[in-house]
Amino acid sequence: MLVIVAPGQGAQTPGFLEPWLADPAFESRLNWLSAVAGLDLTHYGTKADADTIRDTAIAQPLLVASSMLAALAVFPQPSDAFTKVGAVAGHSVGEIAAAAGTGVLSAEQAMVLVRERGKAMAAAAAATATSMTAVLGGDRDEILAKLAEHGLTAANDNGPGQIVAAGTVEELAALAADPPAKTRLIPLSVAGAFHTKHMEPAVQTLAKYATAISTHDPRTRLISNRDGHVVHDGREVLNRLVNQVNSPVRWDLCMETMADLQVTGILELPPAGTLTGIAKRALKGVETFALKTPEQLDDARAFVDKHGSPSEIDASPTWRLLVAPMKGTFTRAGQISRESGDTVESGEVVAKVKSLRDELEVKAPHGGIVVEWLVEEGDPVAPGQPLVRLHPKGGNA
């Protein structure tokens, strides 16, 4: 199985888009996204220095645009992607690129959302002196306890030995003076404590914009930063994009889901390298490809062909799918049994998926009429596996 991932803030480097602009189609699309974002992304991706593109309001639109356009370079016919890509995920702001790539948002919607996200997060960061520090090595439980002791948040949990602490500069200074055992601390050059309570004003701003955004359900598995679950309702994806701004990034759980899906290849979109580096350490035996320049496109397509397989999720307009959010055992026990032809109301719980760690309800966000169940009682299911087809009905569609 192939998983495509989009990097988050901090992955950008000066001039990383320079080689891509030799392609007239890429340049034209970047000019259009620049107009939508109200930023000269060509300049920021080619000529601007590291300090300039570190600015949150610049870095975030630049990253999302580069990932979306590189995906188009790999798949000149976008529909071809859905016959190859088993799952998609994005780290932090990279989730917006992932949402656009799976069809939840249009490219223009993604650029407006990330433009306002960057501005709102920069404004929230300016209100209080906050920052972030990478905590490398050590014992995870001991690190989390020490962060809690100093009032800090584990804003990014990127897997074994890679946690990013965030909070006020005073709280981070206290951590530096009293670090967890066997760890190395690296202060990050960022504008604020992202994915913490300090970003609540940005969440409120984005929530207002989100009410005006129309969405579609993802056309392949979309793995969420919040908990590593596969989310298949477009409105829920958008809600998670908004609330993710002040919620920790659980990339460790995203990788657990990739392992549950038996991923064999991970392709990272530019500016690539960070997420494939993490995967090499956390997902042993999984082949990775860091797409950095257009000279690699032929090799990237060969990588896609090697690992790609059609997603089980098909976006037929005549019915909706409800899918398993995680790996576990399927059951309808305890629920009113719904059979073919029965009506399911909006918000109704139709099934549960139970694992050793959790039990999650599967709800019908839009309601509908049961077309057919795709699994049997007690069946083991994988993340994103279709459970039931629903035909939209009346005003619930």
Active site members: 92, 195
SS3 186: strand
DSSP 198: G
> Which CA distances in Å does 139 have to 145, 183, 249, 273, 282?
10, 8, 19, 25, 15
Please give the Cα distance from 216 to 148 (Å, whole number): 38
- Amino acid, single-letter form, for residue 115: R
Task: Tell me which residue of 387, 220, 217, 218 sits closest to 312, measured CA to CA.
Answer: 220
Angle between helices 94-101 and 56-74 (to 10 degrees): 30
State phi, psi for 26 to the nearest 5 degrees.
-65, -45
Please give the Cα distance from 292 to 290 (Å, whole number): 6
Task: Tell me which residue of 87, 64, 33 sits closest to 263, measured CA to CA.
Answer: 87
Sheet containing 328-331: which strands, arranged edge to edge?
359-364, 348-354, 328-331, 380-381
Q: Which two tokens stand for residue 123?
A: 């404004």
